[in-house]
Amino acid sequence: MLSNITIGQYFPGNSILHRMDPRVKVLLLLLFLLEVFLFSNAVAYGIFSAITLVMMLLSGVPLCMLLRSLKPLWWIILFTFVIHLFSNPGTPIATVWLFTLTWEGIQMGCFISLRLILLILMSSLLTFTTSPLKLTDAMESLLSPFRRFGLPAHELAMMMTIALRFIPTLIEETDKIMKAQQSRGADFTTGNVMKRLRNMVPILVPLFLSAFRRADELAMAMEARCYRGGIGRTQMKSLKTGGIDYLAIGGFVILTAALLGIKLST
Amino acid sequence: MSFIEFHDLTHCYNLGQKNEHRAIDGLDLSIEKGSFTAILGQNGSGKSTLAKHINGLLLPTSGICLVDGKDTRNLEELWQIRRQVGMVFQNPDNQLIAAVVEDDVAFGPENLGLEPQVIRAKVDEALKAVNMTKYKNFAPHLLSGGQKQRIAIAGALAMDTECLVLDEPTAMLDPQGRAEVLRTVRKLHEERGITIVYITHFMEEAAVADRVVLMDSGRAAADGTPREIFADVPGMKKRGLDVPLAAEVSWQLRRQGIKLPDGIITEDELVEALEAYTCQSN
């Protein structure tokens, strides 16, 4: 029951987006999201939507998978849309009890919902086309300038790596402990919430104990292999910024310039 | 001078506290370069403690531990020692660090600060040596126990290790995994002359070593070739240890008055001796 969990939602492939330097992807995504907030005219949103659509097609990830990432946030999008329909003053179209539906409200609702959808789609494109390991490397590299302010960039990345390595192992172990407890009559499926939570204790205690033991042994194994923190460490798969990345950065600069132009001319 | 030397080595856990435990007690032992030494002993006889001294994971409470002439207490040389001595532990799950096999093998060389292309070459070479090249992009949790232990060995090889210390590497494996690991270790010993220190509970595994050291209460109770050690069946039993099945059978037969030669420790030798015996008596 626990064995079919996958970490993240990486979709293996070899598209342009897959081959991009993860650091460039993360940075461009952050800037893109910022621009989505800054430029809120109709032309800009048309351009944003077009770009998102092109990216989705370029990624080689099945469209239904991408759209499924909207599912958990569907209610928030709908809720925001409805709120905006009735809360904007302007030309009234219809009145329901205390609420007035306005033309401006419909416009605003569409804008905000589109904004949310773009945010979600673009962010999930990043996680669909970048493996968790590459994301970790990108995080370490991007955060390393902040090391001089005391941010433990290497340690954070190492923690992520070890977590990714041990999640499947610990899930397997949880499964084993659950079966062991069930075979001795433990019941995890009936009773109210409080009772079920209390029944989790016999799973969590052995799981934690074993996790600490593993941590101890792992630390010893790491030390035996000359690990002494991030200082003087190199990487076999060092991240490289290539042609595609410069192209993407160039494209992004042009986009920003065009958006600024539109904004200033209106 | 030998590759590894212990001089009057003592190690106490929880020193000065109520539950002080003397795991190694005045041990003198030296291990030659290029040898294959098996270490046997009951639980709590100090085998694992001994293993952890060889690459400085534990430091002696008193006495000296020298590896290739370098003292493990000397912090400057400790990293060089750890590079020369690779460790493989009992639990295959708790010694692999990365979520992809080749990244895990690269962990050691990365810590040494080598160039990326040098690391790549060493990793490919190490994976080939343990015959795991085709699994290089696998996640460790998808491998069998024996395969995980071979990856752990590859991780040490990628650091150009000269000596492998294996602390009960097969205790948690099935018979097939056990055979895989032992075969890999023997191959590395024969083809590359890597010094092997092999701690085990399985007497059949100890029988392939050049030398067997028997640990008892923190001391070396017996030391010799497998033939010498396993010839003393009553002595081994008294220490709570087994002998290989062939040694046991031939000992029992000798007790029944059947004249078999001394020093039988493998099944092939036993079969040969029994055939010779039946021919003779006919």
- Contact map slice: B 94-123 vs A, CB within 8 A: 94-100, 102-103, 106-116, 119-120, 123
Nearest Cβ partner for A165 among B79, B98, B155: B98
Q: Do A224 and B114 touch (CB under 8 A)?
A: no
Size of interface A-B (CB pairs under 8 A): 95
Closest chain B residue to A157 measured between Cα atoms? B98
Contact at CB, A226 and B79, closer than 8 angstroms = yes
Residue A107: partners with Cβ closer than 8 Å, 6 or more residues away:
none
Q: Which of residues 153-192 of B touch A (CB under 8 A)?
A: 155-156, 159
Domain ranges for chain A? 16-130+241-265, 146-224
Do A203 and A174 meet the contact criterion of CB atoms below 8 Å apart? yes
**pLDDT of A8:** 62
Are the beta carbons of B109 and A133 separated by less than 8 Å?
no
Find, in chain A, the residue whose alpha carbon is nearest to that of B89.
A221
Q: Do B109 and A236 touch (CB under 8 A)?
A: yes
Q: What is the pLDDT of residue B269?
A: 86
* pLDDT of B268: 86
B112:A164 CB<8 A = no
B89 vs A217, A235, A237: nearest CB = A217
Residue corresponding to tokens 């003397």: B22
With beta carbons under 8 A apart, name residues in chain B contacting A238: 116
Residue A4 confidence (pLDDT): 43
Task: Answer left, alpha or beta for residue B240, where phi above 0 means left and psi between -120 and 50 means alpha.
Answer: left
Q: Which residues of A touch B155 (CB under 8 A)?
A: 225
Scanning B55-202, the segments in alpha helix (DSSP H) are: 75-84, 101-112, 116-129, 145-157, 175-192
Beta-carbon separation of A237 and B141 below 8 A: no
**Mode of pairing for the β-strands spanning B163-167 and B195-199:** parallel
**Other beta carbons within 10 Å of A207:** 17
Give the pLDDT band (50/70/90) at residue B160.
very high
pLDDT, tens digit, 9 for 90 and up, residues B70-103: 999 988 889 899 999 999 999 999 999 988 899 9
More confident residue, B165 or A200: B165
Nearest chain B CA: its distance from A185 CA (Å): 28
CA distance B179 to chain A (A): 23
CATH fold for the domain made of B4-226: Rossmann fold (3.40.50)
To the nearest 10 degrees (0 to 180), the angle between helices B175-192 and B145-157 is 20
| pLDDT in single tens digits along all 266 residues of chain A | 344 445 567 777 888 888 889 999 999 999 999 998 888 788 888 889 999 999 999 888 888 888 888 888 888 889 988 888 887 777 777 777 777 778 888 888 888 899 999 998 998 889 888 888 888 889 888 988 888 888 888 899 899 889 888 888 898 899 999 999 889 888 877 778 888 888 888 899 999 999 999 999 999 999 999 998 878 888 888 888 888 889 999 999 999 899 888 888 87
Distance between CA atoms of residues B108 and B86, nearest Å: 10
CB atoms within 10 A of CB A12: 9
Residues of chain A found within 8 Å of residue B123, distances taken between Cβ atoms: 236
Q: What's residue B18's pLDDT? A: 85
* pLDDT (0 to 100) of residue A7: 54
Which of B52-56, B138-142, B179-183 is predicted with the least confidence, judged by mean pLDDT? B138-142
Closest CA to B215 of B199, B226, B231, B227: B199
Buried b (16+ CB within 10 A) or exposed e, B161-175: bbbbbbbbbbeebee
Contact B100 A133 (CB under 8 A): yes
How do strand B195-199 and strand B36-41 relate by DSSP bridges? parallel
**CB contacts, 8 Å: A164 with chain B:** 99
Q: Please tell me which of the candidates B116, B141, B155 has its beta carbon nearest to residue A225.
A: B155
**CB of B127 less than 8 A from some CB of A:** no
- Shortest Cα distance from B83 to chain A (angstroms)? 7
Using the predicted structure, report yes or no on whether residue B260 has a pLDDT greater than 90.
Answer: no
User: Are the Cβ atoms of A165 and B106 closer than 8 angstroms?
Assistant: no
What tens digit of pLDDT does each residue of B171-193 get? 999 999 999 999 999 999 999 99
Question: H or E stretch including B197?
Answer: strand B195-199
Q: Over chain B, what is the mean pLDDT?
A: 91
* φ, ψ for residue A131, nearest 5 deg: -70, 150
- The span from the CA of B153 to the CA of B150, in Å, is 5
Domain-by-domain residue ranges, chain B?
Answer: 4-226
B78 at A interface, C-beta within 8 A: no
**Chain B CA closest to residue A171:** B141
pLDDT for the residue B236: 87
